[in-house]
Structure 1
Amino acid sequence: MGEIERQPLLDQAVVYYDAVPGDPPAPVIDVPTRKTLTWSSAYILVVSRVVGSGIFATPGAIVRSAGSVGLSLLLWMVGTILSGCGLAVSMEYGCMLPRSGGDKVYLEYTYPRPRFLASTLIAVQAVLLGFTASNCIIFGKYTFFAFAFTPTENQQKALAVGLLTAITIIHGVFLRTGIWIQNVLGWVKIFLIGAISLTGIWVILFKPYDRLKHHPSQTLLSWDSLWEGSNWSWNLLATSIFKVIYSYAGLNNVNNVLNEVNNPVRTIKTVCPAAFVTAGTLYLLANLSYFLVVPIDEIKDSGELVAALLFERLFGPHIGKVIFPLAIALSAAGNVMVVTFSLARLNQEIAKQGFLPWSHILSSSKPFNSPLGGLFVHYVPSLLVIGLPPQGDVYNFILDVEGYPAQVFALAIAIGLLLLRYREPLRKRPFMAWLPAVWLRIIVCVALLIAPFVPPPGGKSDVHFFYATYAVVGIGVLLFGVLYWYIWTQLMPRRGGYRLEEEEVTLSDGTSITKLVQLYQT
């Protein structure tokens, strides 16, 4: 046996082991002692992440694809059920493995072989597609709409980038202030979506049709009119369901930051269902309000401004066209804050595991006890997505591109849950997902992954791209991740004559990591 040379390569999160009799050990990532998130903060973290731009911006695109009020409402109900199934899966995982990282932790634990593959794919997806560009774009559109200003493309991009930059600085330098601001904006958002939702009830009770200049009975109160113009193309329906599911994205947001949550298991079991019921009820009532107040043809042509049209019709050009659109802009800003907060910590966990360059720097919490490195990793792709593509259909395209790889991971996680139940039947599970919900999640994930390649009528989608472009881009990101994993963990070690092993290290700020080192044999 020759001499072994050790050469530091990358950093990986330190792993402890929480063994259960009869089970293989479960990795437990080093947990900080400070718990900064209470139950209410965790609830706002979830609700504010879920109720983002989706309910304010996507209904127009969904109606344009579905073609009718009835089919649009049906798609929202189907998407709500599917999101609930996904939430049940995430809750079982979160209660079973209560630590920060979310899907990354679950995939790593469920699929330890091939070594580092699951971690690499999550890292690539988080870095390349973990951006908040869509809500920054919505912030800009509603802000300019409120001030009756028609911006140039560069002006719209500049405002979106300015929001992203300000939020990154706040979360990086003023940690507690950032949490306080996102809590306040979260409650503003709940009030706003509540106001939209109650609008439909108000219209039904008081029937102010003369003021609205629109009588909803022709669409909502007649069965034939309800389904008139329905488009049953599976391709367009699938993209619409992606958008609905995107509107519920973040139901498991608290899973990403469990290290900072008081009583994480109890919080998951109460916060997540509460947020789901809140969002589902508000979404259904909000859609009814849109259809009761705004004619369907205007909704189809509204782009991302359907909520602005609703308030303008209800409250006139002053309050309705200024105050409420500004509130929606603040709501989008609140969503950017909570997404940035959670994804920065996910990026920090990825850096701790050594799947990013300069991991010892990016995983540190110096000097403000915040994940500055993770914030930077989140900032760069968001900046590029906002600044580089042309405006127009970019918002819906971003949603679809984000959604496709997410369905691949959702499928792997749902299948993995069944594998773990078979492989580790004795493991403690404080919450167990209903088995039919898990199978429904699997079936629908498969269907949604196939659907984009089914040509719509005439071979044209509701955006100015090849109908399967977003799926191709999503698959390309995953294939890039596989290629990166193969080069880093297989090809380079084989050609370099070394293997990767782990070495525990504590950084100067107290962060525990594990350096991956190259072991050479001579």
Structure 2
Amino acid sequence: MDDPESLRQPLLRHESDTVPESATIGRNLSWSSAYILVISRVIGSGVFATPGSIVKSAGSIGATLLVWIVGTVLAACGLAVSLEYGCMLPRSGGEKVYLEFTYRHPRFLASTLVAVQAVLLGFSASNCIVFSKYTLFALTDQPTERQSKALAVGLLTAVTIIHGGFLKSGIWLQNVLGWIKLFLIAAVSLTGIWVILFRSSNELPNTPTDWDNLWAGSNWSWGVLSTALIKVLYSYAGLSNANNVLNEVHDPIGTLRTVCPAALLTACALYLLANVAYLLVVPLDQLKSSGELVAALFFERVFGAHVGRTLFPLAIAVSAAGNVMVVAFALARINQEVARQGFLPWSRLLSSSRPFGSPLGGLLVHFVSSFVVITLPPQGDVYSFILDVEGYPNQFFALAVTVGLLLLRIRRPDLSRPFRAWLPAVWLRVLVCLALLAAPFFPPPDWRGDVDFFYATYAIVGVGIIVFGIAYWYIWTVLMPSWGGYSLGEEDEMLDDGTRITKLTRLYAGAKLNSTAPWIGSVENPTA
């Protein structure tokens, strides 16, 4: 017969997620640091690099601005969901905590999928690539692929060393880079206003004279527009960045309720003004073919070749570097939380905050995945493809989290909810996730199968990652225990630095757990 205490233990472990937990390294993030962590993650390379591909997909000025407005509204719906979850479960880990708390069955499935996503998709490659391209764009005319990749890896290495060995200095540096980033995007926005006020309409290449010109060339194919919409949503993805590090935030619930809406309003205003500036200054055909260098073309046309081609691209590179810092900061904490639950190899080592009082193990996991994505794919349209592959599986997790919020309102009305998402916003989020998941499989009207690259490749790769996670879960939690005649159990352990971890253990009939075993899965089997 099962021990009643063992039956209650999983429930107790999940219930502890509703209690705030302080990190062993302390609560080092103030309100302003949390704000920079969010806004610097939101305003990364997206507003400097993605407008060109979004204009190419939308086809016209009006459709482009409409995609950004719709994307902002949908981002606000997603933010409402993450705010309710974050205030209800105020702990580091973000979606990992939410999915594990909501979907307890099948056992270990949610944790495995989060672990697979953290390892395979938890990278900062795109912003490292933007940093490299803008830096080399300013310093040399024709950089080689080897130079571009080497510089991107150099940035990744520097960020890993700073955050891994100098915790408080890393927080200070990312705060400085965050404020520089805000200044840069504000400069772009104010430049657009200056252009409108002091240049005649004849000097503005994209000024529409009537509504027909505003919408001329619009592409209303949902398959194409959904790709653009995913890029806009990716530009707002960092709105939940504070949810990932709540163990290190002063007053986590109060800070979360104010920091995230403030960051959304800031990003919305700056994004729209910046896109208006791009559309007014850079000819539409050049915008569509600009790739990641749309901001560089903008500054070159406004300020001339010297300033526009050298100074401002370097400033944008600094902005991308700041984004890499806050992404690495947050993803390292997620990796550490995954390791604490025993879902990564060498979990004791990766969970510990030693020797520098930082999540060095989580940073190394982030470094490896980012290094692979930077160095292996060839140059070309790799940046856009990485965004698509990275963004598509996130829609599965966003859908699961949103549906989970509705389920918890039914199952657990007793939980404290300092923030409640507006119900229509939650349902809108569900519908949009479903639409974005289905959209890539609808061919664009001008696609020719015998010539063009398959339009749904990024979605197929994204689905493949999810299927891989499910297959991996089935093999190690169902198939292998069935063949080996054991079941999987969980055992808590406290590391020397005060970090509490969970070891996954093999339980045989009549076996007794060995609490001093140094490796995951060790048991004493007296019948062996």
Task: Name the residue aligned to 1:254.
Answer: 242
1:31 maps to which of 22, 25, 30: 22
1:451 maps to which of 439, 447, 472: 439
Tell me, which stretches of 5 or more residues in structure 1 are unaligned? Answer: 2-12, 20-24
Q: Within 2, Cα distance between the matches of 1:106 and 1:95?
A: 11
Matched, 1:516 2:508: no
User: Deviation of residue 313 (structure 1)?
Assistant: 1.0
The answer to whether the 8 A contact 1:132-1:340 is kept is yes
Matched, 1:61 2:49: no
User: Deviation of residue 173 (structure 1)?
Assistant: 0.7
1:492 maps to which of 458, 480, 501: 480
User: Deviation of residue 449 (structure 1)?
Assistant: 0.3
- Aligned-CA RMSD value: 1.9
The answer to whether the 8 A contact 1:18-1:28 is kept is no
1:358 maps to which of 328, 346, 351: 346
Task: Name the residue aligned to 1:8.
Answer: none
2:129 maps to which of 130, 137, 157: 137
2:81 maps to which of 57, 78, 89: 89
TM-score normalised per structure 2: 0.92
Task: Name the residue aligned to 1:266.
Answer: 254
Q: Within 1, Cα distance between the matches of 2:402 and 2:333?
A: 23
Q: Which amino acid aligns with 1:440?
A: L
Matched, 1:471 2:462: no
Q: Within 2, Cα distance between the matches of 1:426 and 1:515?
A: 30
User: Deviation of residue 28 (structure 1)?
Assistant: 5.0
Q: Which amino acid aligns with 1:414?
A: T
Tell me, which stretches of 5 or more residues in structure 2 are unaligned? Answer: 2-8, 510-526
User: Deviation of residue 216 (structure 1)?
Assistant: 3.8
2:165 maps to which of 149, 162, 173: 173
TM-score normalised per structure 1: 0.93
User: Deviation of residue 234 (structure 1)?
Assistant: 1.2
Task: Name the residue aligned to 2:113.
Answer: 121
Q: Within 1, Cα distance between the matches of 2:443 and 2:471?
A: 29
Q: Within 2, Cα distance between the matches of 1:208 and 1:141?
A: 33
Q: Within 2, Cα distance between the matches of 1:355 and 1:72?
A: 42
Change (3 A) 1:49 1:464: farther
| 1:269-305 Cα shifts (integer Å, max 9, x gaps) | 0000000000011000000000111111111111111
Higher relative contact order (CA 8 A, sep 6+): 1
Q: Within 1, Cα distance between the matches of 2:290 and 2:14?
A: 53
User: Deviation of residue 222 (structure 1)?
Assistant: 2.1
Q: Within 2, Cα distance between the matches of 1:259 and 1:292?
A: 44
1:422 maps to which of 404, 410, 417: 410
Change (3 A) 1:216 1:107: same
User: Deviation of residue 14 (structure 1)?
Assistant: 11
Change (3 A) 1:320 1:79: same
Q: Within 2, Cα distance between the matches of 1:200 and 1:237?
A: 25
Change (3 A) 1:16 1:45: farther
Q: Within 2, Cα distance between the matches of 1:358 and 1:17?
A: 22
Q: Which amino acid aligns with 1:93?
A: Y
| 1:205-251 Cα shifts (integer Å, max 9, x gaps) | 112668xx53443x3x4211111111111111010001000111110
User: Deviation of residue 460 (structure 1)?
Assistant: 5.6
The answer to whether the 8 A contact 1:401-1:471 is kept is yes
Task: Name the residue aligned to 2:215.
Answer: 227
Q: Within 2, Cα distance between the matches of 1:32 and 1:371?
A: 10
| 1:181-215 Cα shifts (integer Å, max 9, x gaps) | 110000000000001111121112112668xx534
Change (3 A) 1:125 1:460: farther
| 1:55-78 Cα shifts (integer Å, max 9, x gaps) | 000000011111111101100111
Q: Which amino acid aligns with 1:512?
A: R
Q: Within 2, Cα distance between the matches of 1:31 and 1:422?
A: 29
1:152 maps to which of 140, 144, 158: 144
Q: Within 1, Cα distance between the matches of 2:206 and 2:217?
A: 16
The answer to whether the 8 A contact 1:16-1:27 is kept is no
Tell me the matched-pair count: 501
Bigger shift: residues 148-157 or 304-313:
148-157
Q: Within 2, Cα distance between the matches of 1:313 and 1:222?
A: 25
1:238 maps to which of 226, 229, 233: 226
User: Deviation of residue 507 (structure 1)?
Assistant: 1.1
Task: Name the residue aligned to 2:180.
Answer: 188
Task: Name the residue aligned to 2:64.
Answer: 72
User: Deviation of residue 505 (structure 1)?
Assistant: 1.1
Q: Within 2, Cα distance between the matches of 1:459 and 1:252?
A: 36
Change (3 A) 1:346 1:277: same
User: Deviation of residue 465 (structure 1)?
Assistant: 3.3
Q: Which amino acid aligns with 1:32?
A: A
The answer to whether the 8 A contact 1:27-1:109 is kept is no
Q: Within 1, Cα distance between the matches of 2:67 and 2:109?
A: 35
The answer to whether the 8 A contact 1:67-1:230 is kept is yes
Q: Within 2, Cα distance between the matches of 1:26 and 1:135?
A: 32
User: Deviation of residue 381 (structure 1)?
Assistant: 1.1
Partner secondary structure for residue 321 of structure 1: helix
Matched, 1:323 2:311: yes
The answer to whether the 8 A contact 2:206-2:284 is kept is no
User: Deviation of residue 149 (structure 1)?
Assistant: 2.9
| 1:90-115 Cα shifts (integer Å, max 9, x gaps) | 00000000000000100000101001
The answer to whether the 8 A contact 1:393-1:464 is kept is no
| 1:357-412 Cα shifts (integer Å, max 9, x gaps) | 11111111110011111111111111111101111111000000011110001011
Task: Name the residue aligned to 1:7.
Answer: none
The answer to whether the 8 A contact 2:287-2:294 is kept is yes
Change (3 A) 1:346 1:464: farther
Q: Within 2, Cα distance between the matches of 1:465 and 1:473?
A: 14
The answer to whether the 8 A contact 2:20-2:89 is kept is no
Q: Within 1, Cα distance between the matches of 2:197 and 2:189?
A: 14
The answer to whether the 8 A contact 2:83-2:419 is kept is yes
Q: Report percent identity of matched pairs.
A: 68
Matching of residues 38-57 of structure 1 within 5 Å: 38-57=30-49
Change (3 A) 1:142 1:494: same
The answer to whether the 8 A contact 2:395-2:433 is kept is yes
